[in-house]
Amino acid sequence: MYPAADGWVVSSQQPPTSERGDRRRVETTVEVLQDSLQKLLVVEAKHHNASQDEIQEVEAQAYNGCMKYLKYSGRTAMYAMTVVGTRARLWTVHRKEDYLEPYIPNGRGLAAIGEYIKANSTEGYQIIEGLEQTKIDHLLPPKKGQILKSLGSPQLS
Protein backbone atom coordinates (compact mmCIF):
# COMPACT_ATOMS: atom_id res chain seq x y z
CA MET A 1 0.00 0.00 0.00
CA TYR A 2 1.22 3.49 -0.79
CA PRO A 3 0.75 6.29 1.74
CA ALA A 4 -2.25 8.59 1.35
CA ALA A 5 -1.42 11.69 -0.64
CA ASP A 6 -4.07 14.37 -0.82
CA GLY A 7 -6.62 11.84 0.41
CA TRP A 8 -5.82 9.16 -2.20
CA VAL A 9 -4.52 5.65 -1.58
CA VAL A 10 -3.31 3.23 -4.28
CA SER A 11 -2.88 -0.35 -3.11
CA SER A 12 -1.98 -3.62 -4.81
CA GLN A 13 -3.36 -7.09 -4.17
CA GLN A 14 -6.20 -5.92 -1.94
CA PRO A 15 -9.55 -7.55 -1.19
CA PRO A 16 -12.53 -5.77 -2.76
CA THR A 17 -14.17 -5.41 0.69
CA SER A 18 -13.02 -4.92 4.27
CA GLU A 19 -14.95 -8.01 5.36
CA ARG A 20 -12.99 -10.19 7.70
CA GLY A 21 -11.81 -13.30 5.86
CA ASP A 22 -12.37 -11.91 2.33
CA ARG A 23 -9.83 -13.97 0.38
CA ARG A 24 -10.59 -12.47 -3.05
CA ARG A 25 -7.91 -10.07 -4.31
CA VAL A 26 -7.88 -7.50 -7.11
CA GLU A 27 -4.70 -6.30 -8.82
CA THR A 28 -4.94 -2.69 -7.67
CA THR A 29 -7.43 -0.44 -5.92
CA VAL A 30 -7.67 3.32 -5.80
CA GLU A 31 -9.38 4.70 -2.72
CA VAL A 32 -10.33 8.19 -1.67
CA LEU A 33 -10.40 9.31 1.94
CA GLN A 34 -13.67 10.99 2.77
CA ASP A 35 -15.23 10.13 6.14
CA SER A 36 -13.60 6.73 5.59
CA LEU A 37 -11.65 5.10 2.76
CA GLN A 38 -13.97 4.47 -0.19
CA LYS A 39 -12.93 2.41 -3.20
CA LEU A 40 -13.19 4.44 -6.35
CA LEU A 41 -11.50 2.17 -8.90
CA VAL A 42 -10.59 -1.49 -9.20
CA VAL A 43 -7.88 -2.51 -11.68
CA GLU A 44 -7.45 -6.01 -13.12
CA ALA A 45 -4.73 -6.93 -15.63
CA LYS A 46 -3.55 -9.68 -18.00
CA HIS A 47 -0.38 -10.17 -20.02
CA HIS A 48 0.11 -8.57 -23.45
CA ASN A 49 -0.70 -11.65 -25.54
CA ALA A 50 -3.84 -12.61 -23.60
CA SER A 51 -6.29 -14.84 -25.42
CA GLN A 52 -9.90 -13.89 -26.04
CA ASP A 53 -10.91 -16.06 -23.07
CA GLU A 54 -8.37 -14.28 -20.84
CA ILE A 55 -9.69 -10.88 -21.91
CA GLN A 56 -13.21 -12.03 -21.01
CA GLU A 57 -11.83 -13.29 -17.72
CA VAL A 58 -10.11 -10.00 -16.80
CA GLU A 59 -13.31 -8.07 -17.53
CA ALA A 60 -15.35 -10.53 -15.47
CA GLN A 61 -12.83 -10.24 -12.61
CA ALA A 62 -13.11 -6.44 -12.66
CA TYR A 63 -16.90 -6.59 -12.71
CA ASN A 64 -17.09 -9.16 -9.92
CA GLY A 65 -14.61 -7.24 -7.74
CA CYS A 66 -16.61 -4.04 -8.16
CA MET A 67 -19.94 -5.76 -7.52
CA LYS A 68 -18.62 -7.33 -4.35
CA TYR A 69 -17.54 -3.91 -3.10
CA LEU A 70 -20.77 -2.19 -4.16
CA LYS A 71 -22.88 -4.74 -2.31
CA TYR A 72 -20.61 -4.51 0.75
CA SER A 73 -20.56 -0.69 0.81
CA GLY A 74 -24.15 -0.01 -0.23
CA ARG A 75 -22.94 2.34 -2.98
CA THR A 76 -24.55 2.16 -6.39
CA ALA A 77 -21.62 2.79 -8.76
CA MET A 78 -17.85 2.87 -9.15
CA TYR A 79 -15.12 2.54 -11.78
CA ALA A 80 -13.07 -0.34 -13.14
CA MET A 81 -10.01 -0.43 -15.36
CA THR A 82 -8.93 -3.47 -17.30
CA VAL A 83 -5.43 -3.74 -18.68
CA VAL A 84 -4.12 -6.17 -21.29
CA GLY A 85 -0.39 -5.66 -21.75
CA THR A 86 -0.01 -1.98 -22.64
CA ARG A 87 -3.67 -1.53 -23.58
CA ALA A 88 -6.28 -0.25 -21.15
CA ARG A 89 -9.97 0.45 -20.92
CA LEU A 90 -12.02 2.26 -18.28
CA TRP A 91 -15.50 1.15 -17.28
CA THR A 92 -18.31 2.21 -15.01
CA VAL A 93 -19.98 -0.40 -12.87
CA HIS A 94 -23.53 0.14 -11.66
CA ARG A 95 -24.94 -2.20 -9.04
CA LYS A 96 -28.15 -2.75 -11.01
CA GLU A 97 -26.39 -3.55 -14.29
CA ASP A 98 -25.42 -6.99 -15.49
CA TYR A 99 -21.91 -6.10 -16.63
CA LEU A 100 -19.30 -3.42 -17.18
CA GLU A 101 -20.33 -0.32 -19.11
CA PRO A 102 -17.63 1.11 -21.42
CA TYR A 103 -16.43 4.53 -20.23
CA ILE A 104 -13.15 5.26 -22.02
CA PRO A 105 -13.21 4.63 -24.89
CA ASN A 106 -16.92 4.60 -25.40
CA GLY A 107 -17.95 1.57 -27.40
CA ARG A 108 -20.09 -1.50 -27.39
CA GLY A 109 -17.59 -4.33 -27.43
CA LEU A 110 -16.92 -6.55 -24.46
CA ALA A 111 -13.65 -8.46 -24.53
CA ALA A 112 -12.87 -6.49 -27.70
CA ILE A 113 -9.12 -5.85 -27.66
CA GLY A 114 -9.55 -3.47 -30.60
CA GLU A 115 -11.51 -1.13 -28.33
CA TYR A 116 -8.70 -0.98 -25.76
CA ILE A 117 -6.35 2.01 -25.99
CA LYS A 118 -2.61 1.47 -26.33
CA ALA A 119 -0.81 3.54 -23.71
CA ASN A 120 1.85 4.71 -26.17
CA SER A 121 -0.57 5.55 -28.99
CA THR A 122 -1.92 8.95 -29.98
CA GLU A 123 -5.14 7.99 -28.13
CA GLY A 124 -3.29 7.18 -24.88
CA TYR A 125 -4.15 10.58 -23.42
CA GLN A 126 -7.80 9.45 -23.20
CA ILE A 127 -6.97 6.99 -20.41
CA ILE A 128 -5.13 9.71 -18.46
CA GLU A 129 -8.02 12.15 -18.95
CA GLY A 130 -10.50 9.44 -17.93
CA LEU A 131 -8.56 8.74 -14.74
CA GLU A 132 -8.39 12.46 -13.99
CA GLN A 133 -12.17 12.66 -14.48
CA THR A 134 -12.69 9.81 -12.00
CA LYS A 135 -10.85 11.92 -9.42
CA ILE A 136 -13.20 14.82 -10.09
CA ASP A 137 -16.31 12.64 -9.98
CA HIS A 138 -15.04 10.79 -6.88
CA LEU A 139 -17.63 8.16 -6.11
CA LEU A 140 -20.22 9.07 -8.66
CA PRO A 141 -19.55 7.80 -12.17
CA PRO A 142 -21.63 9.48 -14.87
CA LYS A 143 -25.17 8.29 -15.25
CA LYS A 144 -25.71 5.79 -18.02
CA GLY A 145 -25.63 7.54 -21.40
CA GLN A 146 -23.89 10.69 -20.14
CA ILE A 147 -20.61 10.08 -21.89
CA LEU A 148 -19.45 12.47 -24.57
CA LYS A 149 -18.48 10.31 -27.52
CA SER A 150 -16.15 12.89 -29.00
CA LEU A 151 -14.08 13.44 -25.85
CA GLY A 152 -14.66 10.18 -24.02
CA SER A 153 -15.49 12.16 -20.86
CA PRO A 154 -18.67 12.48 -18.85
CA GLN A 155 -20.81 15.56 -19.16
CA LEU A 156 -20.41 17.81 -16.18
CA SER A 157 -23.48 19.43 -14.72
| pTM for the whole structure | 0.80
Average pLDDT, the chain: 81
Q: What is the pLDDT of residues 119-149, one digit of tens each?
A: 999 999 999 999 988 888 776 666 655 544 4
**Residue 88 predicted with pLDDT over 90:** yes
- 8-154: CATH, from 3.10.50, 3.90.1570, 3.30.70, 1.10.3430: 3.90.1570
Q: What is the pLDDT of residues 58-80, one digit of tens each?
A: 999 999 999 999 998 898 999 99
Domain boundaries, the chain: 8-154
Strands (E), the chain: 8-14, 26-33, 37-46, 77-84, 87-94, 101-104, 117-118, 147-148, 153-154
